[in-house]
Amino acid sequence: MQECVFCNIISKKTPAEFVYENERVVAFRDINPQAPVHILIVPRKHIATTNDVGEADKDLIGEMILVAKQIAQQEGVADSGYRLVMNCNENSGQEIYHLHLHLLGGRRMTWPPG
C-alpha cells in the first residue's frame, strides 16, 4: 500500500491530538480546523473512499456515527448542533484517501456548502 497520512497517524508514526480510540475507530483533531470543533473519525481499516465501502463494513460505518455522537457530547456541541461530512473523490475536495468522517461544530454552518 502507498504511504497513507491517516494510516501513519493510526500507527502513531505521525503525531496527532487523539480524542478517542477503540479497536476499530480512532478520532483526532483536524490539523487545519474549519470550525471551533473539527474532529476526524477514522476507521483503523484502510478504505480509500465511500465508493470502496463494502457490505462487510456496515457495522464499522455505523460505529463511526455512534463515535461521532459521543464526541459531539464530549466536546459540548451535541445540543447546539454540528455537521458530519464525508467527502468522496475530486469534486468533493477529498484530500486524504483514507475514509474519514468530519465532525464540525461550535459555530453556525451555512447551506449549501461551498
Residue ranges that bind ligand 5GP, judged by CB under 6 A: 5, 14, 16, 28-32, 40, 87, 93-96
Helix (H) or strand (E) holding 70: helix 58-74
* Residue linked to cell 475514509: 99
Please identify every residue annotated as catalytic.
100
Q: Give me 69's grid cell.
A: 455522537
**30 vs 63 by CB, closer to ligand 5GP:** 30
CA nearest 82: which of 114, 16, 34?
34
For residue 74, the minimal CB distance to ligand 5GP (Å) is 17
For residue 30, the minimal CB distance to Zn ion (Å) is 16
Q: Which does 78 bind (CB under 5 to 8 A by kind): Zn ion, ligand 5GP, none?
A: none
